[in-house]
Each structure stands twice: as C-alpha cells, then as structure tokens.
Amino acid sequence: MVAVYSVPNAFSTQECAEIIRKTEEAPDSEARLVGQTRDHNLRRASVVWLDDVPGTTWVMDRLISLVRRANRERFGFDLREFAESPQTASYGAEEGGHFAWHSDIGDGPLAGKRKLTLVVQLSKPGSYDGGALEIMPGAHVITASRGQGSCTVFPSFLLHQVTPVTRGTRKSLTVWAHGPAFR
Ligand SMILES: O=C(O)CCC(=O)C(=O)O
Ligand SMILES: [Fe+2]
C-alpha cells in the first residue's frame, strides 16, 4: 500500500487565490500545536481557522469529497467526522517558517481521534524556496507535490515535516478526518 495519496489540481489556481485572499482578510493567530503549547523550535507559522472565514463552505465541501475519495480508494479507515476546522497556515522566510517532524495524533479529545491528514498546497511553487512537505512512512521520505492546488492525504500517525522556508512565503490548507482512535 502506498502510504501517501495525492490528487494534482484538486483546487484550481483561481480557487487557491480565492482561499488565500479570503483568509488574508481574517485575523490570524500564531500557530498553536497539538495540545496548545507554543514551541517555536517545533513550528513557526501563522494560522487561520477556516471556520472563522466567511464564504468558505465550498472549500470544506471540496475537502470532504477529497478525503472520502482518498479513504475509499486507498485507506479504508473508519472515519466518522470532521471534528476540527480546517486550518490555513502561512510559513514566511523572514520568520523562519517551518514545522519540524511530528505526528498529528495528540493527547487531546480531538487530536487523539485524528485518522487522516489532508494538505493542499496553496502557493505557486516558484514563489518560495524550501517549505517542502515531507512524509516518512518508513525508511524513506516522500516529498509531497509542490504543485499549486495539489492535495496530499496520509495517515495522521505518520511523521511529517515542513522544511524551513528560505525565500518567500508558503501557504497551505490542512484538514483532519476523525474516527475511533487507532488500536
Ligand atoms: O503545512 C503543511 O504542509 C503541514 C501542516 C501540518 O503538518 C499540520 O498542520 O499538522
Ligand atoms: Fe501535521
């Protein structure tokens, strides 16, 4: 089984631009980690919760159908709900934007039920350097497509990272699908 499922052009260039424009109008918060700690060595990014951005229901609808498709075609996990708002993250070179190796499954009531993680690349690949999304399903690291609008889905327990952004800004959109905890 290939551990990472990807869909190129899951969102069009215009749709990515629309999501960026709408989230930039919303106030952002410095990224908090699973468990609400703030560890800048682990992650530096600013985050907007999509539920706080008006007029983005269509985005959630698209994300849900992408997760359903990935789960049907690849993972077959017991998924029950989308218990957390999708999150847009902005990783800027000036702030040293990055997210070190981590798993998305945490101790909290919601983070403990995460089963699939879906990430959409919102930025044009040439607009930033670094900022690669890397996933480690085993001995090898898989680098997610950088294509704007591409979507990458993987089990939330897999270690993954965003390498430091060294030029420009990388924006991404993440959503989790939840279900009974893995045993
Ligand atoms: O921005 C990304 O590509 C990954 C985000 C992430 O790993 C997370 O929010 O848990
Ligand atoms: Fe993550």
In 3D space, the residue among 49, 74, 63 whose CA is nearest the CA of residue 10 turns out to be 63
Predicted TM-score (pTM) of the model is: 0.94
Question: Which ligand is the nearest neighbour of the Cα of 33?
Answer: 1
Two tokens at 100? 């070190």
pLDDT in tens, 110-131: 999 999 999 999 999 999 999 9
Q: Is the CB of 150 under 6 A from ligand 1?
A: no
Q: Is the CB of 174 under 6 A from ligand 1?
A: yes
pLDDT in tens, 71-106: 999 999 999 999 999 999 999 999 999 999 999 998
Break the chain into its structural domains and give their ranges. 5-178
User: What distances in angstroms separate CA 179 from CA 33, 44, 55, 109, 143, one per listed residue?
Assistant: 20, 28, 27, 11, 26
CATH topology for the 5-178 domain: Jelly Rolls (2.60.120)
